[in-house]
Chains A and B, each alone.
Chain A
């Protein structure tokens, strides 16, 4: 079932190309000395692309996702969503941009255990409006159905890990993001669930025309991507991905 067949009505936020230019990110190590986590001279991810980020632990995959999401700003360089220089926006504007543009999927799902499936999916809608309107409720129900979640009234804490990640994906795409960021979305699942969840993630992104950036060690998941970027190998090399 294509997402466009869902009772949404509102237009999908249009995916735009993402540019990272001259980005450097330093962390402070345990000894207090700074070390370079990321050094990306040039990276362009075209609108609607599905890109995997691969690299050893500590190579900066998660930091890159946080950088793209505007949760941190680079020590040098810029992150831009088409013409909008996200990395130089003030915090409230970045929050707003993130809310309107990005859907985030985490390795450990990060649902609110005390809320039920429906409330977890619609939670991001409460960041900007007082009431969740009927269309959003219907869209949440349709997304849950799309993810194979039957009972919307079950509390998140009683769900299996696979079910939790499906709820998290539904939550990420509720607001029709143009950019979906996933940080090891299958790493906490067994192989069978990992496969299903990976397939669903890629499908909803493709059907929505959203850009999907997925940091992962999971070869099966990375195989579903159009491109895979080696993060360790990124440093110092100019890189542009063709769509």
Chain B
């Protein structure tokens, strides 16, 4: 028995209705897929962006705020901690490397981050994709997406709290708060990190201090840049990143700098809390999307039951021509399962497009690059929807199977 010529004829007879069914199912699937994939992508790329920041030390306050400012470079006014701590930490044997993060200035809408070459190279992991890393004051290393060219002069402006600068654009706020007489020359560029740091301009922390009239932290102008800072007065910084030598050391450091006017924590802890909240939101959205899918399936089923009812005579004719009941059952069931299956497949594709579109928006907003991936979770979700749809389609199929032939012929 080969029901497919008849299945094909049935689908052709529906035409736009068939298309509408496929579209509805596809939308239901796409929404579910997009929610799952989006949340995972956000989690993964935000975790990847925080990878090189093992331990953060800052002034007591909001850990989340410090993470957002120093790792995701969302500007905020952060209280400073004593810069001498940098020297102390650099000498601590539990510390493999330490670097300050100082921000506050912008140029063309890009955040200018003052730090040391250690953090620029992510503790030696990265090589510049162009040029070299900074080796003296007045030099700058560009993030991958920064529109300045090597050799260009970068003029810093004081960032204004509450003013959201658009990366790549000089606006009135920025033009009105220029630090006159200061400038950087771009000497190198970082490879793409997929994080907000792709939109940052990295400069020696000494320059950031000097621009704000705090000196350079060194005893003489000729001392070069970077640790140790041997000046009489070492300016404060909003955040210090520590790369501990061992896990045990990391916990000891965290315990030690949790008191005495500083706050120390693992950014991963903050992220875990955020992910838990994100997961809760996702769960709510998933429940909503499942309900959505159930509603759509129910609507499609009703439609198909109505269609099967309208086709009673068509199927009765097949029976009169000698078709067994199983043939009619298969025709109805396969037709519906095919439509739902086509909806599920195109839903995966539409979900991918959705996710990419949303990822594009997130990237434009934050610089976080979200990698799209479909994984077993979404696949299972779609398979489950297809399985339920197929089983439910048996209902109209059984109705047609049991329909009396003569009554159908007389319609």
Which residue numbers of A lie inside 8 Å of B, CB to CB?
A: 62, 66, 69, 71-72, 91-92, 95-96, 98-100, 102, 104, 106, 110, 112-115, 119, 123-124, 126-131, 171-172, 175
Residues of A near B88 (CB, < 8 A) are: none
Could you tell me if A95 and B6 are in contact, using CB atoms closer than 8 angstroms? no
Partner of A128, one of B1, B6, B314: B1
Partner of A95, one of B319, B409, B410: B319
Partner of A131, one of B2, B10, B313, B405: B2
**Given A69-B320, A113-B13, 8 more pairs with CB closer than 8 A:** A71-B406, A91-B325, A99-B324, A114-B8, A114-B13, A127-B1, A130-B2, A131-B2
Minimum Cβ distance to chain B for residue A25 (Å) = 11
Q: Report the bound CA distance from A92 to B406 in whole Å.
A: 16
Residues of B near A91 (CB, < 8 A) are: 325
**A71 touching B12 in the complex, CB below 8 Å, given contacts A92-B325, A110-B313, A119-B5:** no
Would you give 7 A-B contacts (Cβ < 8 Å), ordered by A? A95-B325, A99-B324, A110-B313, A112-B314, A114-B8, A123-B321, A127-B323
Could you tell me if B323 and A99 are in contact, using CB atoms closer than 8 angstroms? yes
Could you tell me if A126 and B6 are in contact, using CB atoms closer than 8 angstroms? yes
CB closest chain-B residue, reference A183? B409
Q: Report the bound CA distance from A98 to B9 in whole Å.
A: 23
Size of interface on B: residues with Cβ below 8 Å to A: 27
CB closest chain-A residue, reference B317? A110
Could you tell me if B321 and A66 are in contact, using CB atoms closer than 8 angstroms? no
Give the 4 A-B residue pairs with the shortest CB-CB distance, closest first.
A99-B322, A114-B9, A114-B12, A110-B317
Q: Report the bound CA distance from A95 to B318 in whole Å.
A: 11
**A95 touching B406 in the complex, CB below 8 Å, given contacts A106-B317, A113-B13, A129-B2:** no
Residues of A near B322 (CB, < 8 A) are: 95, 98-100, 102, 124, 127, 175
Could you tell me if A71 and B405 are in contact, using CB atoms closer than 8 angstroms? yes
B257 in the interface, Cβ–Cβ < 8 Å? no
B327 in the interface, Cβ–Cβ < 8 Å? yes
Residues of B near A96 (CB, < 8 A) are: 324
Could you tell me if A95 and B314 are in contact, using CB atoms closer than 8 angstroms? no
Minimum Cβ distance to chain A for residue B90 (Å) = 78
Residues of A near B4 (CB, < 8 A) are: 126
**A126 touching B5 in the complex, CB below 8 Å, given contacts A95-B323, A113-B13, A114-B12:** yes
